Amino acid sequence: MWSADDRRFMGAALRLSRWHLGLTGANPSVGCVIVKDGRILGAAVTAQGGRPHAETQALDLAGEEARGATAYVTLEPCSHFGKTPPCANALVAAGVSRVVICLTDPDPRVSGRGISILRDAGIQVEIGLLEEEGRRALAGYLMRKTKHRPHVTLKLAVSADGMLGRRGEEVSITGPLARAQVHVLRAESDAILVGIGTVMADDPELTVRLPGMTGRSPIRIVLDRRLELPLTSHLVRSASGVPVIVASVQAPAFDAQSDPERDVRRDALLQAGVEVLETGSLSELLHELAGRGISSLFVEGGATVAATFFHQNLADRVILSQGPGEIGPGGLESPLKPSDMAANFVMIRAEAYGRDLCFEYERSF
């Protein structure tokens, strides 16, 4: 059904779509390529902030030559009037003769309607090219629209003997290449989350510090039931530049009244520009984040936090980076091992960054 050229151009659209992951707000990062006679006339990705959409930008680049062309789009063109006119109507007006779509849009305002607009106008529409790759590229948006929570990626760095490090001691598990990849993962995410234990131990910045990507730091979230985040921490001191949310997920048995200083700490965090969000469970927290348009959550660091997400079935992707060295007796054991993945996850990638290994797993159901 699909030609080699079809696969090549949709592959190009999918690569484009990844350029603005984490930068398009509540809108999906979509790629669009306009092609005629084997020549690309226009190619675009959803703009930062979510508008303009990829299709309208690509059509503007193609101009009048778009008439009779094929449009390769990673997600069904929108069909509803929002801040901009529907992309499906723009494709009709431009006179394209064929639209190849990777995925249909689960948004009830769109699902199937964009396709109907195109077909009713006599445009040939074909759906499902490189669908598996598309689901990975749009995993955050699809999860938020179908399950009303962000797509969750867990990341842990482990030693060759399965340790995270030593308590009270900073240990470098992986090398600079693997650590640079962590910054790429941060840049592709809408938000990053750690536990208060990690903050107390490491005082991390949780920003993107790769050259040319420093403006792509995601929202930073700290699980901190007792609101103990130090005002002197890197996170609080930089909250005016990169937002910080302290999430107090309170178990039913937790009694905030038993800590009379808690309200004082809460007020101090608020005055420092930190948002305090109180929920009853991790599931409630994820639902709240999705309601704010957060589609992808990167959970980095913290054995307890990682284990909690994993065992509550809230992890969709797991990335295990493994360094070549061993910690030995007395090390802090990783809560996740490759054997833990067997039941519900499948390994989709294994790569080497220098002497470090990286294994990526995704949920299989």
Q: Which of 55, 76, 360, 362 is flagged as catalytic?
A: 55
Please classify residue 205 by burial: count the beta carbons closer than 10 Å to its beta carbon, then call 0-12 exposed, 13-18 middle and 19+ buried: middle
Question: What is the helix (H) or strand (E) element at residue 31, kind and residue range?
Answer: strand 31-36
Query: Helix or strand or coil: residue 266?
Result: helix
Domain positions in the chain are: 4-141, 148-363
Give the residue ranges of the annotated binding site for Zn(2+): 53, 78, 87
Based on the residue annotation, tell me whether 55 is a catalytic residue of this protein.
yes
The per-residue pLDDT for range 123-136, each reduced to its tens digit, is 999 999 999 999 99
CA dihedral 21, 23, 27, 31 (to 10 degrees): -50
pLDDT at 111: 80
- Per-residue CA distances from 97 to 70, 92, 119, 121 (Å): 6, 9, 10, 10
Long-range own/partner contacts, residues 86-90 (CB < 8 A, 24 or more apart): 86/114, 86/117, 87/53, 87/54, 87/55, 87/56, 87/114, 88/113, 88/114, 88/115, 88/117, 88/118, 89/117, 90/55, 90/56, 90/59
The per-residue pLDDT for range 201-254, each reduced to its tens digit, is 889 999 999 999 999 999 999 999 999 999 999 999 999 999 999 999 986 555
**By the 8 A CB rule, do 322 and 356 touch?**
yes
Asked: is 4-141 a CATH 1.10.357.10 domain? The reply is no
* CA–CA distance, 212 with 227 (Å, rounded to integer): 34
Give the residue ranges of the annotated binding site: 53, 78, 87, 157, 186, 198, 202, 206, 209, 300
> Is 171 a residue whose pLDDT tops 80?
no
Output the six-digit token pair for 305: 């936090």
Query: Helix or strand or coil: residue 287?
Result: helix
pLDDT at 254: 59
pLDDT band (50, 70, 90) for residue 267: very high
Full-model pTM:
0.93
The per-residue pLDDT for range 286-344, each reduced to its tens digit, is 999 999 999 999 999 778 899 999 999 999 999 999 999 988 888 888 888 777 787 88
Q: Which residues share a beta bridge with 72?
A: 33, 100
CATH number for the domain whose boundaries are 148-363:
3.40.430.10
Q: Which residues share a beta bridge with 36?
A: 39
Could you count the other beta carbons within 10 Å of the beta carbon of residue 302? 25
Give the residue ranges of the annotated binding site for NADP(+): 157, 198, 202
Do the bridges between strand 191-195 and strand 296-300 make them parallel or antiparallel, or are there none, so unpaired? Answer: parallel
- Give the chain's largest Cα–Cα span: 72
> Which amino acid belongs to residue 195?
G
The tally of CA atoms less than 13 A away on the side-chain side of residue 225 is 16
Helix axes 87-94, 113-120, angle to 10 degrees: 20
pLDDT band (50, 70, 90) for residue 110: confident
> Which amino acid belongs to residue 166?
R
